[in-house]
Amino acid sequence: MSDKSVQKKKYILETARGVFAEKGYKSVTMKDIVDACDISRGGLYLYFSSTREIFLEVLKMEQEEADDVFEKSIAKEAGPADILALFLKEQKRELVSKKPGLNKASYEFFMDEQNYGKDNFLKKQFDSAVVVIQKLIEAGVENGEFYCEDARRAASNIMYVLEGLKIASLTRGITEAAVDREIMYVMRGLVAEE
């Protein structure tokens, strides 16, 4: 594949990402993407042959970018409590934002796919977040910032609450205050039990 092709493919994926972010997964048609990209019907088929294929590649792209972000976050030297706080703040920002990102589309997609394997994007995201949080908590316990008996459990609890907030946000809206309250509640378990 030529250099130009690669560029165009990337352009399509980025444009398509916007379409999925706006319309979710199931409502998006090849025509929607063709229109958004301002290319011809046949042109799109040169690169992708279904919305499913496009969405999968959008997710792959997303994954790679997410990995980059992770590394940057960790690169900045800061205490584990600070990093966790930063992570939660970022999550909150996304929850409250009007631009829903790919959450809606991803949920629609994976509810349809019934793909419960290791290549499930949501599973991967979730599991790796749990691991990172667990490590942060353990580090926090070590330096006395946190108190926690089972870091693994605490980490997954945090993630499930976030997941609950996410779907709540998408299906019925959620106020910033409510998000704050829930986050504060789960954090209290870590810091308050002195």
Q: Which residues contact a copy of itself (rule: CB under 8 A)? A: 24, 26-27, 104, 106-108, 110-112, 114-116, 120, 122-123, 126, 150, 153-154, 156-157, 159-168, 170-173, 181-182, 185-186, 189, 193
Q: How far is the CB of 112 from a copy of itself (least distance, A)?
A: 7
Cα distance between residue 97 and residue 160, in whole Å:
20
10 vs 188, beta carbon nearer DNA: 10
Residue 164 neighbours by CB under 8 Å, 6+ apart: none
Per-residue b or e along 151-183, where b marks 16 or more CB atoms closer than 10 Å to that residue's CB: beebbbebbeebeebbeebbeeebeeeebeebb
6 vs 167, beta carbon nearer DNA: 6
Cα distance between residue 139 and residue 151, in whole Å:
10
Q: How far is the CB of 40 from a copy of itself (least distance, A)?
A: 13
Inter-helix orientation angle 103-113/151-172, to 10°:
100
Q: How far is the CB of 112 from DNA (least distance, A)?
A: 14
> Which of DNA, a copy of itself, none interacts with 144 (beta carbon under 5 to 8 A by kind)?
none
47 vs 87, beta carbon nearer DNA: 47
Cα distance between residue 194 and residue 127, in whole Å:
29
Binding site for DNA (CB under 7 A): 1-2, 4-5, 8, 29-31, 39-43, 45-47, 49-51
Residues 11, 16, 18, 19, CA torsion sign: positive
57 vs 108, beta carbon nearer a copy of itself: 108
> Which of DNA, a copy of itself, none interacts with 162 (beta carbon under 5 to 8 A by kind)?
a copy of itself
Instruction: Decide if 183 contacts 84 (C-beta within 8 A).
Output: no
75 vs 192, beta carbon nearer a copy of itself: 192
